[in-house]
Amino acid sequence: MFAVVAAAGFLVYRGVGPLPDPEGCTAEVGDVVVELSTEQAENAALIAAIGVRRGLPARAVSIALATAYQESKIVNVSHGDRDSLGLFQQRPSMGWGTEKQISNPYYSINTFYDELVKVDGYDQMRITEAAQEVQRSGFPEAYEDHAEDARALASALTGYSPGGRFSCVVRAPLDEPDAEREGRSGLTPRASAVRRDVEKAFGPQSLGGFAPGGVKDGHMEGSAHYDGRAVDIFVRPVNEANNRRGWAVAQYLVAHAERLDVHHVIFDDRIWTAGLRSEQGWRDYDPGDGPGDRAVLEHRDHVHVDVVEGE
């Protein structure tokens, strides 16, 4: 027997007994549980990442997510009312940009935030009022229907609710072989793609765990770093603000794990693994009793991400 949950316009079937859980993502903050498809989660995580990159408060991300829920169900649609399209149903005829620009999530998200920050006191308004100041919708109260879910998602995806409040069930990693490591970085193409993607979303980062010609030492035996499959994103020093930033990056990587062929994400003494173990969400991480700084061993000062190896 299945439990059926309606979520943001989708029917989500939650596996029971021996049947595997369906692919998709969940945010749990307090009593609020938000279910998303993988596509919705990727877009929601990008909305949050760009908000973090711009130094905006979580309230701005909540407003953007509630707006995207109402306008497109957080899906980058190619159609809408008249010439509306994209995550926020922005219209070329109303000066939001060209069809090509609006169809690019990075452009449409940044353009939404550009207009939101012009609204005086937006962070003190009801979510629906702030969204309406930007959108000028014919249904100004509709955004409030999504306010609770948007707040929970924003809290999880910006790291204000740390500890793995957002997780995804992702299919088993592919077994197609990766190409040779790149000489300049020592990373495989998949790992290099993850590196570029994180910096595209969050801006320049302090990165490590790779080197030209490959890493030779400094990591646990069998580490993916030695194969060029892993990147560390540093969030130093260890403090509350950097912990939030680390969780924002970690949850973004989980949301995009299927697209980026991510195998593991480790941060703040917690680990997430793709495939069947992804059904367990974030788990306690045991670094063992090896020598070294516990903050480093427990990954409290950096997010570790590695990609699938293939055969």
The amino acid that residue 74 corresponds to is I
The amino acid that residue 182 corresponds to is E
Q: How far apart are CA 64 and CA 123, in angstroms?
A: 12
Bond from prior residue into 291 cis (ω within 30 degrees of 0): no
Q: Is the separation of the CB atoms in 268 and 299 below 8 Å?
A: yes
Residue that has been written with the tokens 């922005």 in this structure = 90
Cα–Cα nearest to 166, from 29, 2, 11, 5: 29
Q: What is the pLDDT of residue 176?
A: 65
Q: Is the separation of the CB atoms in 123 and 55 below 8 Å?
A: no
Q: Is the separation of the CB atoms in 155 and 161 below 8 Å?
A: yes
Q: Is the separation of the CB atoms in 61 and 48 below 8 Å?
A: yes
Q: Is the separation of the CB atoms in 230 and 185 below 8 Å?
A: no
Environment class of 21 (CB within 10 Å of its CB; exposed 0-12, middle 13-18, buried 19+): middle
Q: Is the separation of the CB atoms in 116 and 123 below 8 Å?
A: no
Q: What is the pLDDT of residue 1?
A: 32
DSSP for 198-239, written as a single string = HHHHH-S-EEES--TT---SSS-TT-GGGGT-EEEEE--S-S
> How confident is the model over 95-108, as pLDDT tens digits?
888 999 999 999 99
> How confident is the model over 251-275, as pLDDT tens digits?
999 999 999 999 999 999 999 999 9
Q: What is the pLDDT of residue 214?
A: 86
CA dihedral 144, 150, 152, 153 (to 10 degrees): 170
pTM: 0.89
DSSP for 63-115, written as a single string = HHHHHHHHHHSS---S--STT-BTTTTB-GGGTS--HHHHTSHHHHHHHHHHH
**Could you tell me the domains of the chain?**
3-161 (1.10.530), 175-307 (3.30.1380)
pLDDT < 50 regions, the chain? 1-19, 311
Q: Is the separation of the CB atoms in 38 and 3 below 8 Å?
A: no
Q: What is the pLDDT of residue 302?
A: 97
